[in-house]
């Protein structure tokens, strides 16, 4: 048995935090009470700390198979656990792409071997991520895929996207859309605007994202079928989704921590660790993302964890790979920029990082409740620390937040009742 004592519980159900002990037997939470006297095999003293449902990441990249030099399922899941994530959903843009049942099963098997975090594969919408021919969605679902996406590449053909939404609805599968019009993106590498002009760098118009968001909302509305919009980054996208929700369109969406924590001004100095897709936007867009999180337009926070080898970042900006290694800073960035300033409560952050992602993906997790699986994250909200990428468990050290001081630190992570991180030390 495992007992977590003296913590402030934010359970994903009750809006108000409360002091309680949590008793775990095997994989299951068997008691939550103000004081538990049962003698457990392992006791964690959570005095002064908050006990939360394990975080659920609906969008990450584990790179295996094919790009193990960037990340593998072992390093990726340990990195996830270090960030407090007990369940993660990985995107299919590997090599080969996850477009068949065998690869879905391979990812599940590798995650079980590593035992650091639960991994839920997201499979491809189209074969080879080419945007031309639909995958065998039913076979992918039977193998264990929790959603479908061509993330990393947009589905440019509206007819293919329409068919994908129709078929996916029949199999009760969620399509996650990477909204980007490649003809508008062109060879741009950062947000198009004042900073791109000052730096002499080719820009990416916000319209490249927004026209595709509008297209997919229209398709979802026409077909009366759900769609999930990935990595929302602009004010225009937030407003399109806000208005669609008011009309009753079945659209959900996510943003990533870097879109409410950093702006295109950070590109000054040509630090390639600021290069991400979609790009960091303006301060006004950051404000809009924060507004969208506050009013519920943006449903969840996902990391879009995208690790790269240093050789892919230590080049000129235009040639650098896009992506940020995001697992290990996600909670701290959200706590620092959203909870501490009073934008949202810790309960609301739990909804966006645990409860709603689990609901959207239709997987177990997101709540602390008797009879539920013991996926638990313990955080120290008062702890301040300086981000040091050399300490990342991820192979990807690519983060623009290196050297930044953040508040709120994950200290314990429990997956299926097993302590996988204790006092900030990974045990698996």
C-beta atoms surrounding 339 within 10 Å:
19
HEC string for the chain: CEEEEEEEECCCCCCCCEEEEEEEECCEEEEEECCCCCCCCEEEECCCCEEEECEEEEEECCCCCCCCCCCCHHHHHHHHHHCCEEEEEECCCCCCCCCCHHHHHHHHHHHHHHCCCEEEEEECCEHHHCCCCECCHHHHHHHCCCEEECCCCCCCCHHHHHHHHHHHHHCCCCEEECCCCHHHHCCCCEECCHHHHHHCCCEECCHHHHHHHHHHHHHHHHHCCCEEECCCCCHHHHHHHHHHHHCCCCEEEEECCHHHHCCHHHHCCCCHHHCCCCCCCCHHHHHHHHHHHHHCCCCEECCCECCCCHHHCCCCHHHCCCCECCHHHHHHHHHHHHHCCCCCCHHHHHHHHHHHHHHHHCCCCCCCCCCCECCEEEEEEEEEEECCHHHCCCCCCCCCCCCCEEEEEEEEEEECCEEEEECCEECC
Catalytic choice (304, 375, 380, 416): 304
Could you give the CA distance from residue 133 to residue 277 in angstroms, rounded to a whole number? 24
Active site residue 304: yes
Could you give the CA distance from residue 62 to residue 156 in angstroms, rounded to a whole number? 25
In 3D, which of 79, 106, 68 has the Cα closest to residue 327?
79
C-beta atoms surrounding 122 within 10 Å:
27
Catalytic center residues: 304
């Amino acid at each position: 048995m495992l007992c977590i004592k003296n913590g402030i519980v934010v359970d994903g159900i009750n809006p108000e935090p409360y002091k309680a002990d949590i008793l775990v037997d095997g994989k299951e939470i068997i008691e939550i009470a103000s004081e538990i006297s049962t003698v457990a095999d392992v006791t964690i003293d959570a005095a002064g700390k908050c006990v939360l449902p394990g975080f659920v990441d609906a969008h990450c990249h584990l790179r295996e198979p094919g790009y193990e030099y960037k990340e593998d399922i072992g390093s990726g899941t340990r990195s996830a656990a270090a960030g407090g994530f007990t369940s993660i959903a990985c995107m299919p843009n590997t090599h080969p792409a996850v477009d068949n049942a065998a690869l879905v099963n391979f990812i599940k098997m590798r995650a079980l071997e590593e035992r650091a975090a639960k991994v839920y594969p997201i499979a491809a919408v189209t074969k080879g991520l080419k945007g031309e021919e639909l995958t065998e969605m039913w076979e992918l679902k039977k193998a264990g895929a929790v959603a479908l996406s061509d993330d990393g590449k947009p589905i440019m053909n509206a007819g293919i996207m329409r068919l994908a939404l129709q078929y996916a609805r029949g199999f009760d599968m969620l399509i996650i859309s990477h909204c980007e019009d490649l003809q508008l993106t062109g060879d741009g590498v950062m947000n198009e605007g004042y900073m791109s002009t000052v730096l002499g760098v080719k820009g990416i118009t916000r319209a490249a994202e927004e026209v595709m968001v509008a297209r997919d909302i229209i398709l979802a509305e026409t077909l009366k079928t759900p769609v999930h919009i990935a990595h929302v980054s602009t004010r225009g996208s937030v407003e399109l989704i806000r208005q669609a929700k008011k009309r009753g369109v079945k659209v959900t969406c996510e943003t990533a921590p870097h879109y409410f924590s950093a702006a295109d001004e950070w590109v000054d100095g040509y630090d390639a660790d600021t290069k991400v897709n979609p790009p960091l936007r303006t301060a006004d867009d950051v404000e809009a993302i924060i507004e969208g999180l506050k009013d519920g337009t943006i449903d969840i926070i996902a990391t879009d964890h995208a690790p790269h080898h240093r050789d892919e970042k230590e080049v000129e900006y235009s040639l650098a790979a896009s992506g940020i290694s995001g697992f290990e800073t996600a909670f701290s960035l959200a706590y620092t920029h959203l909870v501490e300033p009073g934008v949202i409560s810790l309960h609301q952050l739990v909804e966006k990082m645990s409860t709603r992602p689990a609901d959207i993906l239709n997987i177990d997790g997101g709540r602390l409740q008797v009879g539920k699986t013991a996926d638990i994250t313990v955080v120290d909200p008062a702890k301040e620390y300086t981000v040091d990428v050399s300490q990342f468990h991820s192979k990807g050290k690519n983060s623009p937040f290196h050297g930044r001081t953040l508040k709120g630190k994950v200290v314990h992570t429990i997956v299926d009742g097993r302590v996988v991180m204790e006092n900030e030390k990974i045990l698996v």
